[in-house]
Structures are given as C-alpha cells and as structure tokens.
Amino acid sequence: MLNFDFYNPTQILFGQGQIASLANLVPAGARVMMLYGGGSIRQNGVYDEVMAALTDHKVLEFGGIEPNPSYETLVRAIAQVKAENIDFLLAVGGGSVIDGTKFVAAGAMLDDDPWSIFEQRSANIVSALPFGTVLTLPATGSEMNSGSVVTRKSTQEKRSFMSRKVFPQFSILDPSKTFSLPPRQVGNGVVDAFAHIMEQYLTYPVNAKVQDRFAEGLLLTLIEEGPQALANTDDYDVRSNVMWCATLALNGLIGAGVPHDWATHMVGHELTALYNLDHAQTLAVILPSMLRARKEEKRAKLLQYAQRVWGLAGGDEDTRIEAAIARTEEFFNKMGVGTRLGDYGLGPESIEPVIAALEAHRMTRLGEHRDVTAEVSRKVLQMSL
C-alpha cells in the first residue's frame, strides 16, 4: 500500500426529511446565498423545503448555474457575494451547482481574477467562504470532496482545481429528491460514479486489499442497482444505494494509498469543452478504449476486475480481459449512455482538436505511469470512433 494522508471533514446527513436540519446547520445570523441551477429544484419541491427550513435566516438567491458551470456565470455570483457581504453559501443541486459554489467560495476571497486559481493550481487559495450542500443528483462526489470543475465558455476550456479549503461543511443527501431526475441524468450519474471507481482501482496492484474490496463492492452495487434506478423512478432503497455509492466513489476513501489514473477524465473534459457532451457521456466513450489501449500496463488489475466484478474465470487471459471490457461497455449502454463518439455525431475530424487542447493544457503525461502521451490519447480516441 502507498503512503497516504486522508482528510475529509464533511458532515453527511443522509435520508428523507434531512433538509429540515438546515435550520440548525446553517449558522444563526449568517448572511446566506443559496446557489442553484436551471430550476429543477422549483419543480420537485426541494426549493420550498430548503426555504421552509431557513425561514429564520437571511437568504439571497443566485440561480441559473448551468450544467458544466461557467466561469462567466460564477464571476457574477462572486460579485454579488462581495457586494452583499455574504458569509455562508448553500449549494442546492447536482455536481455543477456544488462545483460552482466551491469556485465562488474560493474566488470571493481573492482580489484578482478568480481564473488565477487554475493558473496557479490552487496555490493562491488561502481561505474560502464556508458552505454546505443539498445534493439532488448522485454522480460526482462533489458533495464530499474538495474538487471543482469549471468551464470558461469564451475559450472552450474546462479546468479543475482541488483545495482542502473547499470541502463542504455539510451535505444533505435525501434519496427521495432524486425521484424527479430524468433517465439521462440517472444514467449519467451511475456511469460517472463507476468511472470514478475505475480511475482509482484499475491501475496496478499495490496489495491494498481494503481499497480494492471497497471499490469492487461499490462497482457491484452500481451494476446491481443502476438498472433498477432506471426502471423504477421512486424506489427509495435503490436510490439510497446509488446515492451513497456515488459519494463513496470519490470522497477520498477508496483512493487513499493506491495509484490513480484519471486519464479518461482529462480526455473527457476536453470532449465536453469542445463538443458539449455530458460529462458521463465522455467517460462512457473513453474508458473502454483507454482500458484496451493500455491493457499491458493494467493486465493484473484487469484480470482481477474480470474475475471479482464480472465473475469471468474461464478462457485465457486476453479473452477474460476483453470480455470484462465488453461487459463494461454493455453496462454503460444499458444505463442509456452511448459508448462511441459516433453516438454523439462525432467523426474522425473531431480528434485533432482534442489532442491540441490536451497539449495546450499540458495533459500529455497522464495516467498512473504518466505515460499517456498525446499519441496514446489519439489512439484511444481513434479506437472510440
């Protein structure tokens, strides 16, 4: 097992009715800004429940945070936070709203352009406004991690940062609030969580038995419950398992003491920035080809994955590995997420702009061995056509 430093201060309140706890969780006397997305919370009752819990608080609202939250929108929120002397933020929504809130929390403490956070790799974040979240879409794990991904529309750049200053103080996870999700977002969420686990599990063995078995348990749960979540919009137990899986997939626990990959995510971010695919769509396209292209480096873990997750024990090694990758693809398709660039109208001409963007963003030494060069990414994209 590798050395690690695991830190996670986020309090989780899980279950139906927990939104009412906001009354006590949000500090009394705080000037609160509630941030949300395009309006789903007004249709599914979440907005009303949050407001009912905060009747004794001073709450300003900032709505309109887009999927793949934009820098252009978030700087407006930062200006408002400064103008109104806001001292507590509440994100109500999916990963985009939560990520956007993290950027606002850190950006509001800076005098210079908050885009500098990406240019300085978070080194200029010395403090951030405190914030909590009410999660409505299980997918990213943003509700219990310190990462954030922001898109600058004017330059088609999607960049991420991490800082211990932007862990949520608390997150409320009420699975019944996911009943209103459209099937596309249910599928996206399950695929994103699955990919997060794979990026931390499917590298090379370091004899980290606990992390491996946690990861395999989460993958098996998603395989079991994901299709159920699509089939039944209001099964509380199914949604509970999916929701907690997605949080545990990226809260630092399974990633402590093991190598990380993340090449699929980095190539995927460029696909979203350039062609506007949903985050999980990019992962469904890239992950299978990434595993095939890097089969030799990942051989031992691919065989473990084939056996323990998909129960594939027969045949020679290469047959088992290919079968496991094919099962992964089938699973993504079953979740309604296409696994080919062509499923999103993208052909061979789409590849070179992605390579140019990876080079511009210095994403040319990716993966657990830092050997995913631009050339490897090109090959992966060609295999994904």
- Residues numbered 145 to 204 that lie near Zn ion (CB under 5 A) are 192
Q: How far is the CB of 82 from ligand NZQ (least distance, A)?
A: 24
Q: Pick between residue 46 and residue 351 the one whose CB is nearest to ligand NZQ.
A: 46
Residue 250 binds which of ligand NZQ, Zn ion, none (CB < 5-8 A, kind-dependent):
ligand NZQ
Q: Pick between residue 251 and residue 384 the one whose CB is nearest to ligand NZQ.
A: 251
Kindly tell me which residue out of 10, 18, 40, 240 binds ligand NZQ, with binding defined by CB under 6 A: 40
Kindly state the DSSP code that residue 372 receives in the 8-state scheme. B
- Could you tell me the sign of the dihedral formed by the alpha carbons of 183, 188, 189, 194, in that order? positive
Q: How far is the CB of 262 from ligand NZQ (least distance, A)?
A: 9
Q: How far is the CB of 265 from ligand NZQ (least distance, A)?
A: 6
Taking CB under 6 A as the binding criterion, the range among 11-19, 111-119, 178-186, 210-218 that sits at the site for ligand NZQ is 178-186
The residue count for binding ligand NZQ (CB under 6 A) is 35
Interatomic CA distance for residues 249 and 232, integer angstroms: 23
Q: Which helix (H) or strand (E) holds 244?
A: helix 236-249
Q: Pick between residue 38 and residue 336 the one whose CB is nearest to ligand NZQ.
A: 38
Residues 6+ apart with CB under 8 A from 170: 10, 11, 12, 13, 25, 132, 133
- Residues numbered 123 to 152 that lie near ligand NZQ (CB under 6 A) are 136-137, 139-142, 145, 147-149
Q: Pick between residue 285 and residue 312 the one whose CB is nearest to ligand NZQ.
A: 285
Interatomic CA distance for residues 231 and 250, integer angstroms: 25
Q: Which residue has the tokens 């050339």?
A: 375
Q: Pick between residue 18 and residue 148 the one whose CB is nearest to Zn ion.
A: 148
Helix axes 317-334, 299-308, angle to 10 degrees: 60
Kindly tell me which residue out of 10, 96, 200, 289 binds ligand NZQ, with binding defined by CB under 6 A: 96
Contact 90, 134 (CB under 8 A): yes
The residue count for binding Zn ion (CB under 5 A) is 1
Q: Which residue spans within the chain are E strands per DSSP?
A: 11-14, 31-36, 58-62, 88-93, 131-135, 147-152, 157-162, 170-173
* Interface with ligand NZQ, residue 226, by CB under 6 A: no
